[in-house]
């Protein structure tokens, strides 16, 4: 992931203007560009004159610092902070947040010191700006580490004050709206990062308007051709189906009026990314997705929501299995509504969301509608409590986590929006990420309960701790004060909180045991290579210099808790022998040949399957040792691996696949098909029939539009499974060629 800010790259395009810093704005501001006059007009609706005076002072300071700096579009750079502040003003954020929005780039771009901001605008504004600023001045061992540290800093600042992430999301939204002037490569990188990090954060905080717009903007830059095609199709379909929508609206309004229910009813159009996602995941055609019309019914009270549900079920027949009550059991981000899908006119499925006015405000603005700092803790709402608990969990993970990359790994796990809802024995609802286990549940209650867990009952029946939970499960944890976390727990817990707590315990409480175990495992692996475990100081110094470990005890502890593979560390040491003069043991490896390292694909962060060639079991493979003692596995015939091997031949080692590989592996295939109706559905169905999963679909058409090239990323068990799938696809009518895509 690449945590960049588009406008940080735009700072280099500077020319000095003659305009005084105190001037309100240039008179020839291009249309559509944010202006301070428009911002002040918005703010004057809810801020006091004293607060407006402070905001204007922050504007003048920011304008002075950014004077002469231009964006890629040629606009004055100050237009960007003003636009970010306007988005925050739409949420009616307070004066401090607006000031921080106006100043959010002055530390990063203009080298303004935090102390200066404290002196001029106070500590709270300075802390907000500091939390939004990246760590450009610190040297990191790698770009990935720098990105992870930037993200860690932002999330921890957000945990202290949620306004940090609200301003950051406003900043990212404006950058995405104005991404058109960037190069194609930069557009894709920033859009990918937005989809991967900022979209799920917006969803997690219930900011649905921002969530949907960021999704569509990211989609438009990641897949511009698909976006344009869908936009054109939606525009055409909108006209064709206007009469159907009008008929449904009239029928619903009349039915609710007859029932004496005061309600607002309006149609809701699916986002382009929502349409694309549904087509991709469910292998549907465009017409099938668009046939699900969306309507919202907003009422005054919760009881009336259920009365309206009954009235609508009397108007149109409900579809079995398509009713969800998110009022009784709200979503993890505070969202509440009744969802039902009915069979409307002409057999058309019609989707309804039924909610109160308060639920509607929360659904659209999430935590921004009731920010944590507004009224203190005295009147904190349920949504605020949930958000506050999640933000505090970030601090817990940070305290238990060794480095920024690991912190980011844990947090991203918890950002996935899909959740399961389970119950404690006292009927309290607990929301967990999909795939969470009983042990994750234990740690979600309290770290101490997780650490002392010895057993679990699910629906009153004893089950293993690794059991995956499902909606509605009743979970009871059995503890023992003598019990301690086991390293094997790391192989099946799902949540970042559980994983970081287990690793923290293994590092601290069981540190000596972890060090001893790691030392023993490394000595064993060194012995297989004919190297004495008594390493010379020069070898140790170079080994630590090429890793993130600060001492050999930390290296041993990482091995003991499973963060590093002893075989890989041993191979790394083997490669250092010639440079440092380390002496092999009395019985070196026969003929200098090393036994291959066995790969199972479940080693975690220490082993990565190269994305360029995506090796699968059955492929001939080779491994590249990274400087942090990790391993990248390539296929033996990968062209990129061949180029890298010529540059650093001493970093390559033999590897082999293990047996009993209980997982699926990504693989890319390419099909040349006739451009005819239903062909994609037939291909997708055949992939499913062959017991393979689809994770990505891409399409390229030729100029004559006669043939189409389909690209799939699929998950298969091994090379034999892939060969079976390819044979089946070649038999599908309309498929001319199928081949595995190679690097």
Give me the active site residues, please: 108-109
Which residues have C-beta within 8 Å of that of residue 302, sequence separation ≥ 6? 327, 356
Instruction: List b or e across 725-737, with b for residues whose CB sees 16 or more CB atoms inside 10 angstroms.
Output: beebbeebebbee
Backbone angles phi, psi at 480, to 5 degrees: -145, 125
At 93 the three-state DSSP class reads coil
Residues forming beta bridges with residue 479, ordered by sequence position: 453
Give the Cα separation of 471 and 486 in Å (integer). Answer: 27
The helix, strand and coil proportions of the chain, stated in percent and rounded to the nearest 5, come to: 50, 15, 30
CA dihedral 709, 715, 718, 722 (to 10 degrees): -30
At 352 the three-state DSSP class reads strand
Q: Are 315 and 258 in contact (CB under 8 A)?
A: no
CA nearest 92: which of 163, 23, 14? 163
Q: Which helix (H) or strand (E) holds 699?
A: strand 693-701
CA nearest 78: which of 145, 174, 181, 217? 174
Which residues have C-beta within 8 Å of that of residue 654, sequence separation ≥ 6? 594, 595, 596, 597, 622, 623
Strands 349-356 and 293-299: parallel
Q: Are 459 and 474 in contact (CB under 8 A)?
A: yes
Q: What number of other Cβ atoms are within 10 A of residue 264's Cβ? A: 13
Give the Cα separation of 294 and 267 in Å (integer). Answer: 6
Q: What number of other Cβ atoms are within 10 A of residue 537's Cβ? A: 8
Task: Locate 258 and state its tokens.
Answer: 């007859």
Using alpha carbons only, what angle is made at residue 253 by residues 288 and 338, rounded to the nearest 5 degrees?
60
Q: Cβ-count burial of 64 within 10 angstroms (0-12 exposed, 13-18 middle, 19+ buried)?
A: middle
Task: Locate 398 and state its tokens.
Answer: 């940070």
Q: Are 455 and 462 in contact (CB under 8 A)?
A: yes
Q: Quick one: three-class SS letters along 246-260?
A: HHHHHHHHHHHHHCC
CA nearest 325: which of 458, 218, 472? 472
Give the Cα separation of 530 and 534 in Å (integer). Answer: 12
C-alpha R_g of the chain: 29
Q: Are 397 and 410 in contact (CB under 8 A)?
A: yes
What residue has token string 């790259």? 9
Q: Are 484 and 451 in contact (CB under 8 A)?
A: yes
CA nearest 265: which of 255, 254, 253? 253
Give the Cα separation of 198 and 204 in Å (integer). Answer: 10
At 212 the three-state DSSP class reads helix
Q: Are 120 and 103 in contact (CB under 8 A)?
A: no
- Sign, CA dihedral 314-319-321-324, equals negative
Helix crossing, 95-103 with 163-177: angle to 10°? 50
Which residues have C-beta within 8 Å of that of residue 183, sequence separation ≥ 6? none
Residues forming beta bridges with residue 698, ordered by sequence position: 711
């Amino acid at each position: 992931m690449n945590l960049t800010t588009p406008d940080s790259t735009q700072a280099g395009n500077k020319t000095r203007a003659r305009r005084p810093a105190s001037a309100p704005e240039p008179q020839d501001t291009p249309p559509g560009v944010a202006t301070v006059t428009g911002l002040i007009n918005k703010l004057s609706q809810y801020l006091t004159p004293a607060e407006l005076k402070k905001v204007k002072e922050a504007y003048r300071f920011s304008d002075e610092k950014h004077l002469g700096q231009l964006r890629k579009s040629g606009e004055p750079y100050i237009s960007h902070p003003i636009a970010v502040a306007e988005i925050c003003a739409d949420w009616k954020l307070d004066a401090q947040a607006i000031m921080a929005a106006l100043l959010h780039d002055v530390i990063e771009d203009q080298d303004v010191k935090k102390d200066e901001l404290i002196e001029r605008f106070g500590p709270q504004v300075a802390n907000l700006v500091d939390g939004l600023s990246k760590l450009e001045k610190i040297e990191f061992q790698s770009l990935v580490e720098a990105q992870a540290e930037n993200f860690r800093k932002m999330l921890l600042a957000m945990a202290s004050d949620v306004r940090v992430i609200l301003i950051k999301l406003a900043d990212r939204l404006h950058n995405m709206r104005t991404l058109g002037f960037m190069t194609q490569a930069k557009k894709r990188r920033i859009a990918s990062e937005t989809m991967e990090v900022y979209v799920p954060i917006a969803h997690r905080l219930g900011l649905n308007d921002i969530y949907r717009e960021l999704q569509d903007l990211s989609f438009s830059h990641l897949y511009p051709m698909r976006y344009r095609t869908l936009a054109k199709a939606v525009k055409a379909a909108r006209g064709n189906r206007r009469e159907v929508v009008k008929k449904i609206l009239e029928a619903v309004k009349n039915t609710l009026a007859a029932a004496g229910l005061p309600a607002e009813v309006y149609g809701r159009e699916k986002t382009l990314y929502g349409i694309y996602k549904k087509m991709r995941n469910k292998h549907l055609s465009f017409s099938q997705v668009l046939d699900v019309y969306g309507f919202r019914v907003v009422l005054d009270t919760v009881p009336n929501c259920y009365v309206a549900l009954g009235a609508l079920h009397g108007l149109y027949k409900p579809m079995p299995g398509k009713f969800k009550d998110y009022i009784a059991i709200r979503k993890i981000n505070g969202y509440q509504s009744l969802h039902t899908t009915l069979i409307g006119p002409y057999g058309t499925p019609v989707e309804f969301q039924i909610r109160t006015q308060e639920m509607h405000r929360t659904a659209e603005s999430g935590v921004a509608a009731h920010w944590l700092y507004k009224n203190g803790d005295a009147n904190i709402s349920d949504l605020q409590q949930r958000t506050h608990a999640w933000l505090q969990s970030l601090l817990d993970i940070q305290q238990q986590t060794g480095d920024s990359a690991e912190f980011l790994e844990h947090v991203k796990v918890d950002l996935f929006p899909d959740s399961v809802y389970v119950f404690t024995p006292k009927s309290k609802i607990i929301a967990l990420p999909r795939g969470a286990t009983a042990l994750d549940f234990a740690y979600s209650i309290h770290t101490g309960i997780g650490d002392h867990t010895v057993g679990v009952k699910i629906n009153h029946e004893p089950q293993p701790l690794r059991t995956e939970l499902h909606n509605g499960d009743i979970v009871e944890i059995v503890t023992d004060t003598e019990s301690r976390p086991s390293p094997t727990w790391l192989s099946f817990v799902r949540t970042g909180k559980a994983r970081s707590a287990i690793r923290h315990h293994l590092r601290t409480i069981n540190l000596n045991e972890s060090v001893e175990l790691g030392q023993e495992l490394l000595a064993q692996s060194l012995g297989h290579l004919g190297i004495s475990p008594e390493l010379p100081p020069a070898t140790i110094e170079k080994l630590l210099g090429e890793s993130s470990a600060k001492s050999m005890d930390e290296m041993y502890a990482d091995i003991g808790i499973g963060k590093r593979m002893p075989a890989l560390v041993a191979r790394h040491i083997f490669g250092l022998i010639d440079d440092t003069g380390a002496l092999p043991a009395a019985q070196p490896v026969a003929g200098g040949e090393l036994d291959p390292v066995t790969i199972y694909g479940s080693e975690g962060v220490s082993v990565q399957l190269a994305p360029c060639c995506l090796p699968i079991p059955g492929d001939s493979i080779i491994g590249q040792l990274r400087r942090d003692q990790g391993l990248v596995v390539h296929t033996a015939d990968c062209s990129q691996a061949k180029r890298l091997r010529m540059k650093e031949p001493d970093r390559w080692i033999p590897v082999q696949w293990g047996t009993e590989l209980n997982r699926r592996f990504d693989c890319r295939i390419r099909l040349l098909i006739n451009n005819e109706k239903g062909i994609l559905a037939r291909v997708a169905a055949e992939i499913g029939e062959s017991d393979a999963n689809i994770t990505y679909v891409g399409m390229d058409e030729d100029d004559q539009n006669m043939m189409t090239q389909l690209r799939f990323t699929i998950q298969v068990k091994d090379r034999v499974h892939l060969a079976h799938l390819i044979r089946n696809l070649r038999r599908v009518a309309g498929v001319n060629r199928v081949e595995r895509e190679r690097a």
